[in-house]
Structure 1
Amino acid sequence: MIRHILIAHDLRSTADLALRRAAQLARQHHARLTMLHVLDPRLSQAEQDKAQQRLDESLTRYAPAGSELRLCQGKPADAVLDQVQQLGADLLVLGAQHQRHELFSGTSLDRIARRCSVPLLLVAQDEDQPYRSAVSALDFSLCSCTALGRAARLLPEEASIHALHVFEPVKNFGPASEQLVTQRALIDQLVQDETLNLPSNGPQLSHDIQPGTLPRTLQECLTQRQPQLLVLGSHGRSALSQALLGSLAQHFLHKAPCDIFVVR
């Protein structure tokens, strides 16, 4: 259950998109919303006051009544992660393309994604209506199953989630067609088992297994289905390397084709 959403705002237009989505989710889940801005210590007091005024305007315009603005200083990634812990937030929301802002470099984004103890939502789309469709990358790892379950609780019950497993045949392990039959049976059973842990009134779940290479096949699925949300699991051992999708997950975080929901 989502009770407290933290949105990190860096004064860019993409951050307002993220704020609108965070506000929508706060209303949907009846959750508390806090907006955080990490002040640049090089700014003068007048510039800091101007930044706070802009943030107050965004909060008033988009966020539910009672939402809070927090200002702090420090290294952006560390400050955001510290606030996640201090506030007991259940979800961290960022705007896509933070890496273009000097306070949210690509390295900072990777550090946040790697160390964040709660699900991370990276918002890329200009939309504030409830999510209607998602694609969840699914393998046999615990983190991918956890991500699927969190997504089912994030989306409204009228939405749909399509779980995709990409099958890459193993050389010298029998005919690819036979491997595919076995893999399909295993995925069918996995989805059946995971469905027991999903909300009974949750989004509609479908699944498929497609042979191919993971990056290309997943991208083809996204192109075909045009989901609003891509759901990824992450082990968090490094900057998403060797997680569910390895370097592809990191690529999506930096060049998000839709909103990205990353769960450890």
Structure 2
Amino acid sequence: MFKHILIAHDLRDTADMALCRAAQLAQQHGAKLTMLHVLDANESDQQHEKARQALDLSLTRYAPAGCELHVRSGSKPSEVVLQQVEELGCDLLVLGAHHQRHDFFSGTSLDRIARRCPVPLLLVARNDYQPYLRALSAIDFSLCAVSALNQAYYLLPASAELHALHVFEPIKGSPKQIQDQLQLQCGLIDQLMLDEAQKLPEEGPSLSHSVEQGGILRCLQENIRSRDIEVLVLGSHGRSALSQALLGSLAQHFLHRAPCDIFVVR
């Protein structure tokens, strides 16, 4: 259950998409919603006034009653966003996806926020504001991946389906050795999911899991398409080989080429 959601709005169309999703989640969780905009310190007062007018319009159109608007100034918007998360005591940060370069709130800023954000980050890429129905979680044996799965369970409504996918990338060996490794991985994941399910409340999304052999990027992409996934759940760091991959090129791939909404948990 989330209590205070922060939506960082940078005046792009995807920021309004993110605001609509944040408003839906605030209603679902009975949470407070705050909208933050970081003014570009290099812009003129006239440009700042136009930005405030655009923000007021977005608030009127998409935000629920009681949503607060915080306008701050800074040369590094990522630092301001992270500072506001801490100062306001927010427990979920929502951003719009970056499908094309934006100089002030660049991909580098997004990477920095994803790496340092102390609370779960939801990157919104879909123009759909109905409650989530289908989520996919990349699972391994790290605490970070398990934490991401648990946070996603609380994010989703009880009507949703949460599927955990473990991707087995075998080391070199004979076909029999690889098959034995796969069976071992399946048994370990079965036990892990059983243990985690017993810790979760009964009222929540349906939980399922599977193990697939292959490359993690391809397997995730195929499952996103075949299962019509609305939100992909990733742990942002950990000690296992899979978690290290999620922290590096894989996380960057999905953050900057989001095929659906992306939920990132440290």
CA distance in 1, matches of 2:77, 2:257: 20
**Relative to structure 1, is the Cα distance of residues 228 and 132 closer, same or farther in structure 2, using a 3 angstrom cutoff?**
same
Shift of 1:245: 5.7
More deviation, 241-250/132-141: 241-250
Tell me the C-alpha RMSD between the 2 structures: 1.7
> Under a length normalisation based on structure 2, what TM-score does the superposition of the two structures give?
0.94
Shift of 1:84: 0.4
In structure 2, what is the equivalent of residue 235 of structure 1? 237
Shift of 1:224: 1.0
Shift of 1:57: 1.1
CA distance in 2, matches of 1:40, 1:236: 35
More deviation, 102-111/13-22: 102-111
* 1:146/1:263 contact within 8 Å kept: yes
CA distance in 2, matches of 1:241, 1:41: 37
In structure 1, what is the equivalent of residue 71 of structure 2? 71
Shift of 1:130: 0.4
In structure 2, what is the equivalent of residue 202 of structure 1? 204
**Ranges of 4+ aligned residues in structure 1 off by more than 6 Å:** none
Counterparts of residues 171-190 of structure 1 (less than 5 Å): 171-172=172-173, 175-190=177-192
In structure 2, what is the equivalent of residue 36 of structure 1? 36
In structure 2, what is the equivalent of residue 61 of structure 1? 61
Show CA shifts across 1:185-217 (max 9, x none): 110000000101222101001100011111111
Q: Any unmatched runs of 5+ in structure 1?
A: none
**Relative to structure 1, is the Cα distance of residues 143 and 99 closer, same or farther in structure 2, using a 3 angstrom cutoff?**
farther
**Relative to structure 1, is the Cα distance of residues 135 and 115 closer, same or farther in structure 2, using a 3 angstrom cutoff?**
same
In structure 1, what is the equivalent of residue 26 of structure 2? 26
Give the number of the structure whose residues are more often helix, by fraction.
2
Tell me the SS of whatever aligns to 1:49.
helix
**Relative to structure 1, is the Cα distance of residues 187 and 245 closer, same or farther in structure 2, using a 3 angstrom cutoff?**
farther
The alignment status of 1:112 with 2:135, answered yes or no, reads no
In structure 2, what is the equivalent of residue 145 of structure 1? 146
Shift of 1:46: 2.1
**Relative to structure 1, is the Cα distance of residues 85 and 236 closer, same or farther in structure 2, using a 3 angstrom cutoff?**
farther
Show CA shifts across 1:53-100 (max 9, x none): 110111121111100010001111100000000100000000001762
* 2:145/2:238 contact within 8 Å kept: no
More deviation, 241-250/76-85: 241-250
In structure 2, what is the equivalent of residue 48 of structure 1? 48
* 1:138/1:144 contact within 8 Å kept: yes
Q: Any unmatched runs of 5+ in structure 2?
A: none
In structure 2, what is the equivalent of residue 17 of structure 1? 17
CA distance in 1, matches of 2:152, 2:264: 9
